[in-house]
Structures are given as C-alpha cells and as structure tokens.
Structure 1
Amino acid sequence: MHRRDLLKAALALPLLPWALSPAVAAAREALSGVATWHSRVRPGDPGWPTPAQWDELSRAVGGRLQRLQSPFEHCGASDAACQEALKQVRNPYYLGDTPSLTQTSGWVDAWTSRPSVYAVAAENTADVVAAVNFAHKHHLRLVVKGGGHSYQGTSDAPDSLLIWTRHMNHIALHDAFVPQDCEGTHTAVTVEAGAMWVDAYTAVTTQGGRYVQGGGCMTVGVAGLVQSGGFGSFSKRFGTASGNLLEAEVVTADGKVHTVNACREPELFWAIKGGGGGSIGVVTKLTLLTHDLPDTFGAVFGAIQADSDAAYRALIAQAMRFYRDALFNPHWGEQLKFHENMLHLSMVFQGLSQQEAEQVWAPFLAWVKARSAYRFKEDVRVIALPARHFWNADFFRQHAPQLIVPDSRPDAPRDHVLWAGDEGQVGQFIHGYRSAWLPQSLLDERQLDALSDAMFQASKHWGYSLHFNKGLAGAPADAMARSRDTAMNPGAMGAFALAITGSESEPAFPGMPGASPDLDKARRDAARIDQSMDTLLRVAPGAGSYVSESNYFERDWQNSFWGSNYPRLAAAKRQYDPEGLFFVHHGVGSEDWSDDGFTRLKRPG
C-alpha cells in the first residue's frame, strides 16, 4: 500500500510574526503571567542532576533508567551494535525498539536525530510519574517517545530525559465500556501508550472481528496518532482517531494521574484529542470506540500517462470530476498522485465487493481508453478481501507477499510487518514537506476548472498527492460530529482532501557510515516543493495544515494546525502545565521558548 511516497515539504519559508495572528494574540493572554522557569539545564550545567540523583531515579523506576548512546556513535567493522544497526536501519520495528534512534533521521536545515542523555523505559504509569517529577524538580528538557514517527523531530532531543513507553503495550477489548462518571456503554478497546497500530489492529480486527480507527502505517504509535488527530485509510467513514477516543489516562506536569473523558476534566480530554503529543501531558492509556467491521476492504492501483501537457490538464480535470461524482463518499479513501504528466491510483475502499468497486471505476477507465493521448503505465487492478484479513500478516504471506515487508529479526512477532510502500520513509532524511486541506467548495463546477489549472501548474514544480481520507467532507454525520469535537483545525471538517508534497533521501543518522545526504540537492528540492504547494494554494489561500504531516518551518503554525481552537488549547496548557515542562517544536505554548526548548523567551507586549 504505497502511502506516502511523495511526502514532505517546503523549507526556507519566512516566518510570520506569531503575534500578528488574532488567535495567537488571544492565546498569548491565556499563557501569560504563569512562568517561573527561565531555562532548562544541560549536562555540565550547575543544576544538572548528580550521579546519586540519577541513581535515585533509577531505583524509583525499578532499574529501568538507561544511559543512551546511538549505535552509530563509535561505528566500526568490529562493533556489533553498529553492524546490526546498519543491517536494520530500514526496519521500523528495530528503530522503534532502539530508544536512541527515531523513525526519521533528520530534516535539512531543521533538525538531526540525536539521542537523549537518559531514558526511562517505562513499564507502567508509576514509571512515567517518577520521570515527570524528576524532570520537573531538576528543570530538565523532557521528551516522550512511543512509536517514534515524528517528521518534526519531537520524539527525541539532545541533553534531555526521555520517557520511552514502548514496553507499555497491553491491549484489552470491551463489550460494554462505560467511561468513568458517564452514562452509556460502548464496544471499545483500551490500549497502553507504547502500542503500535499493528498491535491494535491485530487484537481488534484480526482476532476480535471489529474495527478501530487508527493510522495507515502499521508502526505508528497509537498514543501519538490520537493526540495529533489521527487519520487512517478509512477516516472518511469512521472519522479521526481522536474523535473516537472515549477515555484516557494522562500524567500532568505536577505528577498527578488523571482519568479524563467527556464527563471528567473535559478540557484536558478535549486538548489531548488533536492538540498534539508532548505539549500538555503524557498519555499513558487510551480507550477507543470500536465499530462493526465491514464485510470487505479493498484497493485500486494503477498509473495513467498523458502524452502532452494539454492531455494531462484534461486528465486532471476528468479525475477530479470523477472523484466528486463517484468517490466522494464514505466508501473511499487514500490517494491520487500527480507528477510528470502521470496519474497514480492508490485508492482503498470499504463495504464494497470487488465487482461493485470495478463498476464504480468503469466510466472513468472507459474515458481514458477512448483517447489515444493516454496509456496505462501500470494496469489498473481492483482487489478486495475479507476485512478481517486486512492486517492479517499470514493472509498476506499466503496471497500477496509482495505487499508486505516483515520485521527481519529472528525473534520478531509474526504480525509485525509493514506495507511495502511505507518502507521508503523508514529512517528517511527529509528534504522538505508540506500539507494543506483543500476545501470541498473547490469541487463545485464553477471552481473545478480553477482547481484543475492549479493542480496542473503545481505538478510542473513538484509532484504531490491528494489524500482523500484526510479531509472529512463527505463523512457520515456521526463520524463528523465525533471528529468536530476535537482540538484539530476545524478546516479539516470541510476539506475533501489533504494535499501533501515532499521529498526525502536515504537514512542519515549522525555517525552512520556512508551517510552523506546531498544538502544542496535537498535545498533545491525544498524550493521546488515550496513552489508546487504555493501554486496549488492559489485556489485555497489560508488553508490549514495537518500537524503530524506538515512543514517544519510552517508559517503561522498556531492557526495552520489548530485555527480557532488555539486559544482554548492555550488555556488548557496554562491550567495543566503552567511552567511549561512539556515542550515540542510548534507545540502548544512553544512560542514561549527558544527553538531548542531550553530558554524561555521574553513575551512581546
């Protein structure tokens, strides 16, 4: 399932002054007057904990404090750890199991993957509480890593203490879950913070015969996805992952453990539903709504090449009309990709048979075949399978082994595989990346020609994808209502798709032998990515961006990620983290800190 092969976005964007944004001006007031810290400490600073104090933390967490070092730090032919890392650098399960590494190795002129000084390998909530209290007491930079999928480098930081939740991965299904202090029962699943979506899908769908709304990439962490909003292949039917959250356990900056839901501490509950991970607290446990499983899931693959610019412009227009008339409904998700006068089909569907899906596509394919200006670069294939097998690794081993890549380590669980199309992003070094929600109004016949023109012109600068499952316009009323009651940008609710463009190269962890990204090329790519997205956005000025898949250098990021919800998020930050213990790049309240999160800035005004 080729999901993100064109991802990542623009660099060298001039930052707009954050104080000019009305939403952020209101948020500044909410965040003012509460700071007591002026800086955090680094190793060698007078306030850095002594060895005895680190030993005290280690005892408090049952010996699960680790001193971190990258396996590439002292790399050589005789270094077994280094050689294993080189062998596994394209294995996301290995990267996730190595607390000193991250799923992305860096971003040109933005950040580089560097390990924390220490990590608490948390196995329970008490371990998290101990780490939070220690960081608060000693004014440490604190980082949280679950799945570790962070394009913007928020799951690691040098000179910091890491809370690593990988070993907190228990999963339990419920036939009649009742959130505390609430009424009504729900079919649900409770997942600890370190679990990946492959774990959740195995328990809920393969074994349990139900559906839970999660991420498309199987190695994404459950907790991180929910906190960022959480789109998956079938979000057009079931809404966002955050919209399906029923209850969560959260450790706040004061070390207190909160069980939150719509009835208990609803503001904290709302803030973690799309407000971004690592900004307000550490989520240790989540309970998510589960749904009846459709009979079938399926996919449509193929590629169509146009023999001229004029033919390609016509193909784009026809594809968008076809999407509007036939695919703009809860059955369909994933993406169409546009580059080099080619249209790539990488769509998925739910609740349709293979024959029904083929009938949906027949008019569009007939239109293409009737014109000599087009040829099929890849034949269009429609496949369908019982939905219960969609994440069943053994089923794919038997029927379509080319679509999956297993964790190659000898002791790996059999269900730990990834989609072959996701392999390119493992360990990636990002050149650039941008995303933007495209409003449903652009599909109106009066605007569709302008949209098609912008899409054609954008493709001449750089390729991009339209991810239809990441815009919720066209979703059922229940899914829309759940998703709207979250902190993410309300613009996502009226968008028919999320446009994504980007570029990356091979892994480039510091010290890794042979890792030599072409920085000049990376910057040239970034400039073209910028041109492509800016051209596309001529028809959608002011479009917001998805925080999990966005530009490191996002302009006016508070409005872009959260829109009118940002002041409310800032108020929750003030209430639950008044001193700013939790910091991530472009997270709620991060405008009060230096880019590295170590020095508090003087607020304007």
Structure 2
Amino acid sequence: MKPFTVLSLLATGVLAAGPPSGFRCLCTYGQSCWPNASEFSQLQSQVSQPLIHPLPAASACYPASDPSGNCTDVIENWTDGVWRSSIPGAMQTPNFETFMFKNGTIDSCYLNTTLTGTCGQGGVPVIGVDVRSVADVQAAVNFAVNHTLKLVVKNTGHDYMGRSAARGSFVVWTHNMKNITYEPTFVPQGAPANETYDAVTLGAGVQWYEAYDAVNLHGRMMVGGASAGGSVGAAGGWLAGGGHSALAPSYGLGVDNAVEITVVLSTGEYLTVNNHQHSDLFWALRGGGGSTYGIVTSVTYRTYPSLPVQLYMFKANITNSSVAQELVGELMHYQTQFTDDGWGGYGELSNASLSFSYMAPNMTNEAVIATTQAWINYTQTLEPQGVTTINLYRTFPSWYEWYQYLFSTGVQNGINGQITSRLLSRDTLENKYKEVAEVLVDCQGLFNMIGGGKVNQIDPNSAGLNPAWRKAVVETMCGVSWPDGTPSKEIEGMLDQLKSWIKSMYDVTPNDGAYVNEASLFEIDWQQTFFGSHYGTLKGIKDKYDPYKLFVVHEGVGSEEWNKDLICRL
C-alpha cells in the first residue's frame, strides 16, 4: 500500500484532530468524559468489523456471561497460548487480567468460579476495535486521540509487564491482521533498485507458527521466537523489544533482520519506514519498546535458505545439592564457547536437575562432538559427587523440522506470575559466573543462550536496542507464580522475593541490562536497564512521532512523565 502523506490525511479526514489543548489526564470507562453510545456508533461506521467488548478468559464459565459461552472449551484450552491469543480479553499471564485495588481487594474472573462467585472485568479493556486494515487502525487511533482515551494495543497478550491491558481502557486489537507475503527480491521503499532481500512481510497479527509454516513452503527459514505452540506474535512486541531467537548467535536478533516496517502514528499518519526514509523511527521501532511510538501494522524480515540443524540435549540429575551451584556456574562459564561455536538454545533449573536444548545450523557431526566434548568431560568428573548426566545428539534435515519437533505442541501459558531477566555479558561470564550461579540456583531459573556470536558482532548503534545486547551472551530469568485466589498479601510477599532476586543479580551485573520483553515492573533504574545509552535518543524520537502522547505503557520510553497509573501527566 502506498503510504499516506499528512496532506492526503487532512484531505480525507483521517488525520486525528488532536486532544484538547493542555489536557493532563486520559479518559477511562465510567468517567463523564467517556464517549457515549452515539459516538461509539460513529466509530462503528468507520471500521470494518463490529466493535469488540473484551471479557476475561474465564468469563464463559459464569452464569452472567453470554449464554453461548462454552466453559468446557475454556477449561480444556486454559493453558493453550494459541487459544488465549484468539480472545481479545485474554492475557497469556492471567494475573494481568485482574486488577488490585489499593486496599488489597482483587477484581478478577477466576477459572474456579467458587473463589468469588462473580466475574469482574479486572484490568481487561472494556471496548475496542478488531482491526483488519490500516484504515481500521487509523480510525481507532483517531477516535482515541480525539476523546483522549486510555489506549492499549494488544496482539497475542504475551506481555510480562501487562502492557496489553489497562483497566477501563480502549483497545486496538491487531491479532487478525494476518497477511503474509513472500518476496524473493524485495526492495525497501526509497531504496535503490539493486538493494534486494529475500524477505517475507508479516501483518501485525501473524504468529510465529504461521510465519514459520509460510517461509518453509519456499525452502526458507527466519530468525524468530520459540514458544510452545508458537503463539508469540511475529510482528509486534517481540521485535519492539529486540526479538531474541535460538538462531540469533548465527544470524543476529530480530532487530537485525527487519528491513522495513509500516506504522500508524498518533496523528493518524501511515508511514513506511526503513533505512532510507524515516530512518530515525525505523531505528527506534527496532528495540525501543512496544506500544510507544505508534501501532505497527506490518514488518518485513530477511529470510535464509533452510539448513540442516544439529540438536544437542543435556540433562543432569543432581542428588547432592551442594554441587548444583558449581555445575550451574561452570555451565555459565562455558556459554561463551558454546555460542561462539554456533550453538543457541534454552535451558532450565529445578531443585534436582539442570537441562538444556541447544541447536546449531549447518554444523557437521565432527564439529558437534568437538564443540561439546570439553563440557561433557567436565560433567563426568562430578559423577562421584552425585551428578548423573545424559547427552543426546540428533540431526534434522531442516531448521523447520527441528522447530516442529520441539515447539509445535505443548503449553506454557495460563499461569499467574511475574519474571525478571538479566543479560549476561562476556565479562560477567568470565569473572562473575559463580555469583550468577548462586542467584540462579536460589531462584531455580531459566537461561536462554541467544546472544554472543553474530549478536556481538553488530554495531551497537545500528538499532534502538539496548547496547548491552551487543556484549551479551546469555539471558537469565527468575520468576514467581501463584494460584488463582491467592490473597494480595501473599502475592506481595512473592513479589518481594522477586525484588530480592532482581537486586542480587543487579548487584553482580550492574552494567549488563535486561530484556524488556521478559522482565518485571520492579527492575532497578529501568531506563538504563532496558535501553541503556540509547534512552535519550529514543525519548526525542518518541516526542517527535507521538506528539499527542497517545502511546504510554509501563516502563516505556516517556512513561516517567506520567503518574503510577499512567492516566495523568505529571
């Protein structure tokens, strides 16, 4: 689609008139400023789909809900990320569907109906637009700006900081923007004709399982996320946070593989941005945080020839807890060697085990043995201390078959919780691996080997991404979780434990930063932790492209100018 210009938008009436002069607070449901039925009816006439009225995921299990609701379907699919992403009011982490009042009361809609007997709206937006086109997005943005509404943008609901929800808000739901176009000779707009890419353009609602299926049909693969069922959005917040992948050590992060982005601004203007036009916004959209500069409607990514993949799976059963910290520390120490040899992947800890699954594209069988032998030799020395290990190798004819084997099925959603992450630099892994291991063993954390290699070779200033990524090899994560109905005091106690792990890891790695997409609302010095030295530049770009200050999210660029609820400007 040809991009609109400001003049054409003015001519067609799409350009937002703007909020009232000097406005300080956004409007939420229940206030006198909230649009009336007639005004919503006018919005309805401008969009292609019926307006949506999101409800929490469990709402079908309550008598007061729509009688067509199917509670059995809810129960069967509660932990299925693809199912949850298909529901406008469902978040992948259900605690963000709830709302905790200052007195500790929780407004919620629990799956177990006996906990409260009622289904509250919680933090789920109350009305919004199911956008299917750029024009739908423009109409929704225009409406939100002109009525100064509290707006959220939701795709799949994968967000550990709850930025896909806000109590009493108006939502732009991008989930159904599913267009996929493969172009083996893609030329970015404004680029010379000889600048071509073998690329795929994904609509904002495309999820990774859909993207991988599509490019595989053309014998291609691409840098992307991995989650059980592939429900994470491929052209939304994943890229806005940086976009890590098991393929990143070989091909770079998501931000390094995006060649063009289309976006609707708060003014209503629709832009196509790349390295040749609006390059500053293109820079910011690649790692500068989601729902901050505009609403992305599509992303064009490089693709690569599909290659054979080697899989290396390791598991250690630990009967002697005193040796666990040593084992984890040594694994952290080995990570730089692994990633530089071409491995990438994911691992986890439990009370009595350590396991990981690593992959490497186009690696020979000889190289597999050579690059893992030192680690295997080390772990065998621990057998007398109560450590038993399993090492498995497997070759897959293509990356796609590796992905299907590990991620096409399974569930990992529908659990209340919050997490924190930390990027570990080469320096940390060389000199502080023992201290890092102490925190990881305590929190029984996760670790992703998605840095190093190519990630570290790219100019730190090539994208708005936190420069800490260009020194990072491993991302570690700690988290807490709780069952529905847990009292607010107990939840606060768990969050205090999370804050303790955050401080412990920060004290060990003060210069390493964190991944904004897998972090908490309690990170220390969030501007530096998430965006590093790029924060000031990102703030300037934010002010330039969002003059109406429509896009504001927790720990997003510019959010320091708003109160804790992100409703009123300070």
Regarding TM over 0.5, the answer is yes
Could you tell me which of 559, 565, 569 is aligned with 1:590? Answer: 559
Could you tell me how far apart the structure 2 residues matched to 1:154 and 1:195 are?
19
Distance 1:260 1:133 in 2: 21
The equivalent residue for 2:219 is 209
1:274 to 287, 301, 306: 287
Q: Does 1:305 align with 2:318?
A: yes
Higher mean alpha-carbon deviation, 162-171 vs 518-527, is at 518-527
Q: Provide the rounded CA distance (Å) in 1 between the counterparts of 2:403 and 2:52.
A: 34
Shift of 1:53: 1.1
Residue-pair matches, total = 523
Residue of 517, 539, 544 corresponding to 2:513: 544
* One of 291, 304, 311 as aligned partner of 1:291: 304
What does the per-residue CA deviation read over 1:143-200, in whole Å, with 9 as the maximum and x for residues that have no partner?
Answer: 1111221111111222111111111111111111111111211111101001001111
Report the Cα distance in structure 2 between the residues aligned to 1:186 and 1:258, rounded to whole angstroms.
Answer: 20
Q: Specify the alignment match of 2:211 in structure 1.
A: 200
Provide the C-alpha distance between the structure 1 equivalents of 2:317 and 2:49, rounded to a whole number of angstroms: 57
Please list, as runs of the form range in 1=range in 2, the aligned pairs for 1:393-408 lying within 5 A after superposition: 393=404, 396=405, 403=406
Q: What are the ranges of 5 or more consecutive residues in structure 1 without an aligned counterpart?
A: 1-33, 397-402, 405-416, 507-514
Q: Which residue of 1 aligns with 2:458?
A: 480
Query: Aligned residue for 2:354?
Result: 343
Aligned partners of 1:392 and 1:322: how far apart in 2? Answer: 24
Change (3 A) 1:221 1:49: same
In structure 2, the CA distance between the partners of 1:71 and 1:593, relative to structure 1 (3 Å rule), is: same
Which deviates further from its counterpart, 517-526 or 134-143? 517-526
TM-score scaled by length of structure 1: 0.80
1:170-319 aligned at under 5 Å gives the runs 170-183=179-192, 184-204=195-215, 206-217=216-227, 218-222=230-234, 223-305=236-318, 307=320, 309=322, 311-319=323-331
**Aligned pair in 2 of structure 1 residues 546, 592: CA closer, same or farther (>3 Å)?**
same
Larger RCO: 1 or 2 (CA < 8 Å, sep 6+):
1
Q: How does 1:32-181 map to 2 (within 5 A)?
A: 36-70=22-56, 72-73=58-59, 75-76=61-62, 80-106=69-95, 114-181=123-190
Q: Aligned partners of 2:397 and 2:488: how far apart in 1?
A: 45
1:272, distance to aligned residue in structure 2 (A): 0.7
Report the equivalent of 2:445.
Answer: 464
Indicate which of 544, 554, 565 corresponds to 1:575.
Answer: 544
Q: Aligned equivalents of 2:275 and 2:341: distance in 1?
A: 26
Q: Matched residues in 1 for 2:27 and 2:330: separation?
A: 58
Query: For 1:435, what is the secondary structure of its paired residue?
Result: strand
Contact 2:48–2:131 (8 Å) recurs in 1 = no
How far did residue 321 of structure 1 move?
4.3
* Change beyond 3 A, Cα 1:125–1:564: same
Equivalent position to 1:502, from 472, 475, 479: 479
Shift of 1:312: 3.5
Contact 2:326 2:434 in 1 (8 A): no
- TM-score of the superposed pair, with normalisation by structure 2: 0.85
SS at 2:70's partner residue?
helix
| CA distance in 1 between partners of 2:99 and 2:149 (Å) | 25
| Structure 1 residues 234 and 505: CA distance shift in structure 2, 3 A | farther
Paired-residue identity, %? 27
Separation in structure 2 between the aligned mates of residue 600 and residue 322 of structure 1, nearest angstrom? 47
Query: What is the distance in 2 between the residues matched to 1:314 and 1:378?
Result: 15
What is the DSSP-based 3-state SS (H/G/I as helix, E as strand, rest coil) of the residue aligned with 1:242? Answer: helix
- Higher deviation after alignment, 122-131 or 289-298: 289-298
Offset of 1:545 from its aligned partner? 1.1
Q: What secondary structure does 2:303 align onto? A: strand
Tell me the CA shift for residue 220 of structure 1.
Answer: 0.8
SS of the aligned residue for 1:133 comes to: helix
1:493 aligns with 2:470: yes
Question: Which stretch of structure 1 is more off in the superposition, 165-174 or 516-525?
Answer: 516-525
Give the secondary structure class of the aligned counterpart of 1:380: strand
Q: Deviations over 1:494-536 (max 9, x none)?
A: 1221221112245xxxxxxxx3236555444444444444334
Task: Give 1:317 shift.
Answer: 4.6
1:434 is matched with 420
Cα 1:555–1:536 change in 2 (3 A) is: closer
Q: 1:81 to 1:287 in 2, by over 3 A?
A: same
2:377 maps to 366
Q: Is the 8 A contact 1:296 1:353 kept in 2?
A: no
- Gap change, CA 1:140 and 1:355, over 3 Å in 2: same
Deviation at residue 341 of structure 1 after TM alignment? 6.1
Q: In 2 relative to 1, CA 535–558 (structure 1 residues): closer, same or farther, beyond 3 Å?
A: closer
The equivalent residue for 1:556 is 525
